[in-house]
Amino acid sequence: SDTTDAGDDAELRTPIVAVLGHVDHGKTSLLDEIRGSAVTAGEAGAITQHIGATAVPLSTISEIAGSLVDPTDFDLPGLLFIDTPGHHSFSTLRSRGGALADIAILVVDVNDGFQPQTHEAIDILKRTQTPFIVAANKIDTVPGWNPNPDTPVQETLEKQSDRAESRLNEQLYEIIGQLSDEGFSADMYWRVQNFRENIGVVPVSAETGEGIPDLLTVLMGLSQRYLKAEMSIDVDGPGVGTVLEVKDERGFGTTLDTVLYDGTIRADDTIVVGGKNEPIVTDVRALLQPRPLSEIRTEKQFEQVDAVRAAAGVKIAAPDLDDAMAGAPVRVVRDRNLEEVVAEVRAELADIEVVTEEQG
């Protein structure tokens, strides 16, 4: 939304959501299902494919969630999902010493319960103090399950046999117990009053879409309730982001796939980027975003844009990026003092190196 109030540039940005969990528990399927239901829910433009991320606006979430969400309860603009799931990307992607993601979904297969990478993910979430919810996935695999595609959990539960329902409940309480062993008090999300003190468990199926309305509702509610203050940013200020990936792109040379979490980056900005040895100072040559699906038949994959506002994924083309690193900070200089910005990036780089050593 545009503000004409020149004195006050603070606006709310989209919270950044990451998906973690053990291999094969359904992280990729869950992201696909969220994207799929967002496409079905709305007209064209319901979701925006960013570089490395997918933006789902509040209006689309409210359509998917139906009666679960009253859009007037929210003023955050929606959710931005990082497309690469897994805790490797989660721990590489940091911002100002914390996690780049503001909130996380921990995916746990209801048949499999906690597995080694589930514990690892929990450790990382604890260390970075990232609020999270648990998606108890694959509820459709419970013996005797009667699938009701894309419905809220309570609605599909009413249509299950007693046997299927109690079987699912056993599996869910197993997961709640495992969370408790990790020191978290957890419960079915509809019984959770305070999501800061209790972890909400949301039964879902990435296969049938059951529980997806609930998952989006809980993410939105948790963000609105507990993250709103952190989401208030000067969207027109100098941009700050984290490099997801350094990539060679035909016609553009080395580019940075970046998630911007503060401010704006413009096509004529000077930026400072974390490099292997020292911060790189360079001028943006082009800002690129994926071409909308409707235009994808043209041979150009990207379109050039003049400016990008947080939170968003963007590909930055610029000279001298060969030494840039995934996980490194990107900062726009604009009207700030160059040396100050370089010093900030250097300090952030030192912080990243410490983390890499801890993990290595």
Q: Where along the sequence are the contacts to ligand GDP (CB under 6 A)?
A: 21, 23-29, 85, 137-138, 140-141, 205-207
For residues 324 and 273, the answer to whether their CB atoms sit within 8 Å is: yes
Q: Least distance (Å) from ligand GDP to the CB of residue 348? A: 30
For residues 286 and 306, the answer to whether their CB atoms sit within 8 Å is: no
Nearest to 23 by CA among 86, 84, 81, 82: 86
Q: Which is nearer to ligand GDP, 23 or 44 (CB)?
A: 23
Q: Least distance (Å) from ligand GDP to the CB of residue 23? A: 5
**Would you state the structure tokens that stand for residue 359, as one six-digit string?**
């993990």
One-letter identity of residue 335: D
Q: Least distance (Å) from ligand GDP to the CB of residue 6? A: 46
Nearest residue to ligand GDP by CB is: 26
Q: Which is nearer to ligand GDP, 52 or 241 (CB)?
A: 52
Q: Least distance (Å) from ligand GDP to the CB of residue 98? A: 24
Tally of CB atoms within 10 A around 97: 12
By DSSP bridging, strand 240-249 and strand 286-290 are unpaired
Dihedral pair phi/psi, residue 43, rounded to 5°: -70, 180
Q: Which is nearer to ligand GDP, 205 or 217 (CB)?
A: 205
Q: 3-class DSSP state for residue 219?
A: helix
Dihedral pair phi/psi, residue 200, rounded to 5°: -85, 130
Q: Which is nearer to ligand GDP, 207 or 245 (CB)?
A: 207
Q: Which is nearer to ligand GDP, 24 or 234 (CB)?
A: 24
Q: Which is nearer to ligand GDP, 20 or 69 (CB)?
A: 20
Tally of CB atoms within 10 A around 141: 14
Cis, bond preceding 10 (omega within 30 deg of 0): no
Nearest to 131 by CA among 20, 55, 210, 212: 20
Q: What is the distance between the alpha carbons of residues 219 and 132, in angstroms, rounded to a whole number?
A: 9
Q: Which is nearer to ligand GDP, 30 or 325 (CB)?
A: 30
Q: Least distance (Å) from ligand GDP to the CB of residue 157? A: 16
